[in-house]
Amino acid sequence: MKNEKKIESISTFIGFGSGIEGNVEFQGTMRLDGRVNGKITSKNGTLIVGEKAVIEADILVESIIIMGTVSGTIDAQKRIEVRPPGQLNGSIQAGVISIEPGGRFNGKCAMRTKLDALKKPLSAPPNPASSELSQDP
């Protein structure tokens, strides 16, 4: 028997045929079955991406379950799950990353430690200061 995390009741639902372009912020559990292009954030929320959903976004959440198509950067404080027929393309970071048989992932992956959770979200490495580059050895 699978050990699945119990999901709270869904507080926000964006249905099939609906689309959003821009920033989406939510609390609790949100299910997306439509299209989103932009940024999705929730400090302590769970995002469920339904089978017909198409998401192109930078995502910052506590946990995410993907059964549709997601392209972008995901920073999950706790968990990322890809369940069939889910497809995930992009850079991801989480404490637990689970890709079930039939789910697909293409991109870069980083595992978060407990200390990482206190640091900044996944981002590009900083550029060295110009003063550091001009110094002679």
Q: What is the pLDDT of residues 102-117, one digit of tens each?
A: 999 999 999 877 655 5
| CA dist., res. 118 & res. 115, Å (int) | 6
Which two three-digit tokens encode residue 123?
Answer: 């981002």
| Least confident segment among 30-39, 72-81, 89-98, 125-134 | 125-134
Q: What is the pLDDT of residues 55-70, one digit of tens each?
A: 999 999 999 999 999 9
| CA dist., res. 109 & res. 112, Å (int) | 10
pLDDT at 13 (0 to 100): 77
Q: What is the pLDDT of residues 14-65, one digit of tens each?
A: 888 899 999 999 999 999 999 999 999 999 999 999 999 999 999 999 999 9
Say whether 118 sits in a helix, a strand or coil: helix
pLDDT at 128 (0 to 100): 41
Asked if 40 and 61 count as a contact pair (C-beta separation under 8 A), the reply is yes
Provide the 10 A C-beta neighbour count for residue 98: 12
Instruction: Say which residues have a Cβ less than 8 Å from residue 83's Cβ, sequence separation at least 6.
Output: 65, 66, 67, 100, 102, 103
Asked if 117 and 133 count as a contact pair (C-beta separation under 8 A), the reply is no
Instruction: Kindly tell me the burial class for residue 17, based on how many C-beta atoms sit within 10 Å of its own C-beta (0-12, 13-18, 19 or more).
Output: exposed
Nearest residue to 74 via CA among 98, 50, 58, 54: 58
pLDDT at 72 (0 to 100): 97
Average pLDDT, the chain: 83
Residue 134: phi and psi, rounded to 5, are -90, -5
